Structure 1
């Protein structure tokens, strides 16, 4: 993986191809495939208003494809290209995002499923890739035409896009912008984003052995008799499927509280309520209020803070939050990060209680075992981050 640096071509696109710099002469285009072009675009900060922010800024490949720039409360969300704006939702990981199905309503389950972003508002990866450049508190570009003008500053991009999408691709800003988004999506569908290389994957292949605690956590996770984990965080209906992504991509309200501390610094109106799925333009059912897409648990141990608004810092806190629905123990009714009772849901009345209240209460040993198992879902390239958590 290349290091996260702005595109060295600069605004004028003056960089010579790397092969020529090495003294070799080649007619091969610098970006011969959509994936190669998408990789360059993914790391290119020139495509933001102030030329400071790329896709990789908020989806850092060295940090599980999430944003690890902030500290304290500000770590819950991303800082915009303007150096001031803070969002209201945590940047989801781009790893394994390719497996989320297209957004739609599934009659069989009677649920909305899939899409990209926490509310599924973009149908697929290309739609997601086209969002941040135009978001005023993210990359901040005013319109698609201005983004395309930035693309045209780079002669290598021009050559690649004309070769890949046709000589007339730049005749229409809408088409050129779409080609950019499709290229980024193609890159995000490469093995680099979904290596399936975790200890869990090696365990399935017989190349790793679980500790007793990790094995207990695995058994608990996949047992609907003892936990509610697999009700939402299992796509394949087998506990040994090598392509498990640990999400069914449905939308649920699990009672996440408002991130009050974040709202105090990001400028969002104190009366604003994040209604999740109901903010998706394709959905107008009041029953969708407060529902958010179930995230993958791949790399979950190294991609905190947690929940759609980053309200919890520690993975163990998340597991305890779920257990509060089933435990009558007094200590389970307190958030260990604040030593205060759990705050009320930001949106009440649509909670997925059938799923949340499924299963018995968990003692500390079982809580720790589930956390230990979740740590085994960390891709090999990020396992060193477990020691830093």
Structure 2
């Protein structure tokens, strides 16, 4: 059971940092303990859960998370739910697996600032962890099994208990009338499904929605990784499950509400002038009415797993 304030959520694996006899039964449980343990940050000031808060679908409620040394990071921390089927990680897609993704914040100077080799040595000296790794992996702590354990836990964070899922299963009362109308708009007039498709509402691709103009919006996105000029302002298309509890939105946290997000897509030029490399699909207004925007938001809210709706 993961407890945050007065709210408790039960996930696939029960978080029991004080299990009797220091016993961890599975790789997933070991990964969960590591996820919540500040032992993996250089100054032991933060854990993975500091920036990926369980009650908010393992996203951060702050615009920008705070690193081990108190440094404010430069991009919003996205949700970690429903990542087991993804093919690219981080806003710029620089990691190709959950294991590789874990290396990023672990070794980044402004984040946890603990290279995996240093993390391994620290865990080897810890009686609980050295015993647990030996029991589960049949070997001492090493780079591979540290990343494997945390990734195994992250793969348990799949969510499907939503009004939308129940609606698809035949419960016509599961979604509100507004959400049902919003679903039709999402697929049709609002053109959301072009990018947010599939079971987790992401096409696993990268696109520029116009949040780069070289002035007040300077993050070039995937261009930093590829040096390909066609990737200027391009970012990963995130999944939309649990999106109602992962505000603020976008890599730069510029929108505080889902309504603002939909308003942006409806009329992007009102928010970012002279954007560079914006996708042609966002070349003109969607002409959504205020009521239609509300309906799309209602549908997006229906994608939230019940464990988070009850927070």
Flag whether TM exceeds 0.5 (same fold): yes
Residue number in structure 1 paired with 2:32: 39
Query: 172, 187, 193: which is aligned to 1:222?
Result: 187
Q: Normalized against structure 2, the TM-score is what?
A: 0.88
For residues 285 and 174 of structure 2, what CA distance do their matches in structure 1 show? 28
Residue correspondences, number: 299
Give how far 1:293 is off.
Answer: 0.4
Residue number in structure 1 paired with 2:310: 384
For residues 259 and 160 of structure 1, what CA distance do their matches in structure 2 show? 49
1:2 equivalenced with 2:2 (yes/no): yes
Residue number in structure 2 paired with 1:81: 68
Asked if the contact 1:259–1:310 (Cα under 8 Å) also holds between the matched residues in 2, the reply is: no
Q: Normalized against structure 1, the TM-score is what?
A: 0.71
Gap runs ≥5 in structure 1:
6-15, 21-28, 69-74, 102-114, 171-175, 236-243, 261-269, 326-332, 335-341
For residues 213 and 67 of structure 2, what CA distance do their matches in structure 1 show? 21
| Paired residues for 1:144-159 under 5 Å | 144-159=116-131
Gap runs ≥5 in structure 2:
6-16
Asked if the contact 1:77–1:86 (Cα under 8 Å) also holds between the matched residues in 2, the reply is: yes
Query: 92, 97, 107: which is aligned to 1:119?
Result: 92
Asked if the contact 2:265–2:286 (Cα under 8 Å) also holds between the matched residues in 1, the reply is: no
Larger Rg: 1
| Paired residues for 1:1-389 under 5 Å | 1-3=1-3, 18-20=19-21, 30-68=23-61, 75-83=62-70, 85-101=71-87, 115-141=88-114, 143-167=115-139, 169-170=140-141, 176-190=142-156, 193-207=157-171, 208-223=173-188, 226-235=189-198, 244-256=199-211, 273-280=218-225, 283-324=226-267, 334=270, 342-344=271-273, 348=276, 350-353=277-280, 355-357=281-283, 360-385=286-311
Residue number in structure 1 paired with 2:14: none
1:302-333 residue CA offsets vs partner (Å, 9 max, x unmatched): 111111110111110110110115xxxxxxx6
Computed over aligned residues only, the root mean square deviation of the Cα atoms, in angstroms, reads 2.4
For residues 116 and 28 of structure 2, what CA distance do their matches in structure 1 show? 21
